[in-house]
Amino acid sequence: MKKVITYGTYDLLHVGHINLLRRARELGDYLIVVLSTDEFNAIKNKKAYHSYDDRKIILEAIKYVDEVLPEYTWEQKIQDVVDNDVDVFVMGNDWEGKFDFLKDYCEVIYLPRTEGISTTKIKVDLHK
């Protein structure tokens, strides 16, 4: 079985998230999403609209997602890849090059983002 892993906050779920999850799942047989905890978001100075528990429930309901794990730190990625026997690490191409250190452990792929949509754009549009 080929395992794929990706990371994110997945707040205010939108078509860009679904596109990324679908394309990530197409790269293997099993997709693990590592979801930023509320505590980790605070460290990153990010505030999600939905709690970790609610975002986890939403992700678990998506047919492309096989498992959701918590993200507590930036540094846990190598251990997550090793512990879960991951073959492919996937992130959006706005992170291009930032996770190349994982190439010693698995294949690293940066996928294009869906144009014209992002959680940040949604938040900005709602405040207009």
69-128 pLDDT, tens digit per residue, is: 999 999 999 999 999 999 999 999 999 999 999 999 999 999 998 776 666 666 666 667
Would residue 44 show up in a list of annotated catalytic residues for this protein? Answer: yes
> Which is catalytic among the residues 2, 3, 46, 121?
46
In this prediction, residue 6 carries a pLDDT of 98
73: Cβ–Cβ under 8 A, 6 or more apart, which residues?
A: 40
Q: What is the mean pLDDT of residues 31-46?
A: 96
Question: Is-above-0.75 flag for pTM?
Answer: yes
> Which is catalytic among the residues 44, 47, 121, 123?
44
Q: What is the mean pLDDT of residues 11-40?
A: 95
